[in-house]
Homo-oligomer: A and B are copies of this chain.
């Protein structure tokens, strides 16, 4: 059944990508089978292989699609923020929203298997690095603005804080995955917002002295 329109092609592509996001989030990369994707998408094996050359290509495309969508939507939502505190709060709330699948929007949970496949293919690592760059850059820009306006301490390195925040949010993604059905969105938001509050509260203060601790390769105690 040839649907010659280009619109149809992207429609089917997305249908496959959405099914893949669901399935990979549920069972991991290796755990998910192409049959699962077939079942979830309602298409056939052959159809899927005519859109994506291999399972790993499908997975990578799904990851780019999923995180790309989220970054785009984040940019849109940030325009609604007036103060810097508001913008930061929007970014946090949005990231937490985007962890789960909502209707036609695949959730970031589908990215989790990527971290265990990093040593398997360089393409996976590249994909994660691209994503990290985007997150850190977005964070850095917000922080720089906060510093310029005096809402954040002048002694923080914007790049470092951006990196820390992207780690915090990814950690919350892991907590969401491990919590399963007992997940409470409000708890996660409280955790992420608390760090925001600490940063804003520290605006007027001096940089405190945190002792250096030498890296020490573990002289195991006990068995």
A223 at the interface (CB under 8 A from B): yes
Interface size class of A (residues with CB under 8 A): 35 or more
A150 at the interface (CB under 8 A from B): no
CB <8 Å contact, A215 and B97: yes
Interfacial residues, chain A to chain B (CB-CB below 8 A): 10, 14, 26-31, 69, 72-73, 76, 83, 85-86, 88-90, 92-94, 96-98, 102-105, 112-113, 115-120, 125, 128-129, 132, 153, 156-157, 160-161, 163-164, 166-172, 174-175, 177-180, 185, 187, 190-218, 220-223
- Please, which residues of chain B bring their CB within 8 A of the CB of A205? 201-205
CB <8 Å contact, B202 and A175: no
> Bound state CA distance, A128 and B190, in angstroms?
21
CB <8 Å contact, A85 and B208: yes
